[in-house]
Structure 1
Amino acid sequence: MTDLGKRVSVELGQKIPATRKAHIFLSVVPRCYQTAEAIAEGFSAEGGEVLDMDPLPTLLGPEYTDRTVWNNLHPNGENVTEFVNSWSNNEFEGIEPFDKFSMRLMGDTVKRLLAVEDNLMHIHVTHDLAMMCTKRILFNRPLTREDRVPFLGGLGITLKNDVLTLFVGCSSEPMEISNFKYL
């Protein structure tokens, strides 16, 4: 992680409301761990309490049996939206089916959050691939280039009065999630 990346991650952590305790889940890639540590540092500096930081393998991406499938994903994920759309349309062999991965991803993230009985916040630090898969699932439509997120961009989900609300980084309008087949 660059010095700028660390500073921005600490700043993000400082902007997260410290009114609830947090549990941070992260991909097993070192830069995700570094990002999570910096977010935790900023959050803690503002009085927030991080209960735990745990690796979550699902955040790394799908299981695969044919390494050549990754030849379809450009370096730095430049074509990640196209890759996810093609994958969800079953255009690749040798990779976990998109629907199966979607069940795992939503189970390990959204369903886990909904199962928490305490007033606990979950923070997930991941890559473009998992983030774009999440957007494809929650938006229930093909992705566009505009769906791509910047560094530390993301999604937020809240549950209030049995209503799930999705907040999309860089957008001011929250979306209500209803008829969600993965819950």
Structure 2
Amino acid sequence: MKGELKPMSDVAEWESLDWLSEARWLLTWASQVDLQTPIMIVIRHSHIEVSDNAQDLRTHGLTPLGHRMALKFGERLPPGRDVRLFYSPRLRCVQTACDIAEGYQTIGGNAELISDLRPLLGPYGNGEKIREQMVEDGGPAFVAKWSEKQVSGDIIEPIKLFRERFITEIIGRFAEAKPNDLQLHVTHDIVIMGARLALLKTQPTESNWAHFLGGFAAAVNERGCYVFENGEARRSHELASALASL
């Protein structure tokens, strides 16, 4: 019918959605890394209906858009990698990991779902109170207060303990990666922002808050340790120190 609006294709959605800018940057960077250099990527789950209700968020799955874009993410991972997926046990993260693996397999890639990991679920504490406090303060302010020991231990564990566990269980796996490996971790916004602050010294702001399928990445080669975040790659002495501490 003349004048009828046609639905946007998955490719057009991928290229045009603003909240996918981080994901597009990450994948562009990953495609430029030599195949013999292992990569670690830590991303937030794909699109969900946002809710301030902590109980709702425990059971939320992806929207149809979230499924489509996670598939597209997988299809755009650099070919020739051995992709190993780890994930938070929450449904939205499991679905994201499954969709990414399926997307990579459709282009002939080797992708394997390894396991859920407790650090990817989030810091220990009272989940409902953490969510309530994040809504009240705003995400960046809450993470900053957490790092400055201004949040009660009844609500959330000290960020130092979260950092130690992230280094041991997430960075520790990366230290054992084979040259062709791409370790992909699917998690939540608070984990990404907490890790970036505690591990990489990146201060949380509204503009750098992790979008759906966004996050940060790392690579290690004979020249040093590198981190990619906010659209830029840089050498990271913090990551080097974390690896050296293992």
Instruction: Flag whether TM exceeds 0.5 (same fold).
Output: yes
Q: Distance in 2 between matches of 1:4 and 1:157?
A: 27
> Which 10-residue stretch deviates more, 18-27 or 159-168?
159-168
Map 1:50-69 onto structure 2 (within 5 A).
Answer: 50-64=111-125, 68-69=129-130
Select the structure with the greater relative contact order (CA < 8 A; seq sep ≥ 6).
Answer: 2
Change over 3 Å in CA distance of 1:88–1:15 after alignment to 2: same
Identity of aligned residues (%): 28
- Superposed, 1:37-76 pairs within 5 Å as 37-64=98-125, 68-74=129-135
1:182 corresponds in structure 2 to 242
The verdict on how the C-alpha distance between 1:65 and 1:4 changes in structure 2, with shifts beyond 3 A counting, is closer
Instruction: Report the Cα distance in structure 1 between the residues aligned to 2:160 and 2:105, rounded to whole angstroms.
Output: 37
Secondary structure of 1:51's match?
strand
AA in 2 matched with 1:96:
E
Secondary structure of 1:122's aligned partner: strand
Q: Does 1:81 align with 2:121?
A: no
**Structure 1 stretches of 5 or more lacking a match?**
none
User: How far apart are the structure 2 equivalents of 1:83 and 1:139?
Assistant: 18
Which structure has the greater CA radius of gyration? 2
- Is the alpha carbon distance of 1:149 and 1:162 closer, same or farther for their aligned partners in structure 2, counting shifts above 3 Å? same
Deviation at 1:66?
A: 8.6
Give the partner amino acid of 2:165.
R
Q: 1:147 is paired with a residue of what secondary structure?
A: coil
Match of 1:36 in 2: 97
Aligned equivalents of 2:123, 2:211: Cα separation in 1: 22
- Describe the SS at the equivalent of 2:242: coil
CA distance in 1 between partners of 2:63 and 2:189 (Å): 18
How many positions carry a matched residue from both structures?
A: 179
**Structure 1 residues 20-35: aligned runs within 5 Å:** 20-35=81-96
SS in 1 for 2:99: helix
2:168 corresponds to 1:110: no
Q: CA deviation at 1:27?
A: 0.4
Q: Is the 8 A contact 1:69 1:92 kept in 2?
A: no
2:197 is equivalent to residue 145 of structure 1: no
Amino acid at match of 1:159: V
How much has 1:110 moved relative to structure 2? 2.0
CA RMSD of superposed structures (Å): 2.1
Unaligned runs of 5+ in 2: 1-61
Q: TM-score, normalised by structure 1?
A: 0.88
SS in 1 for 2:225: strand
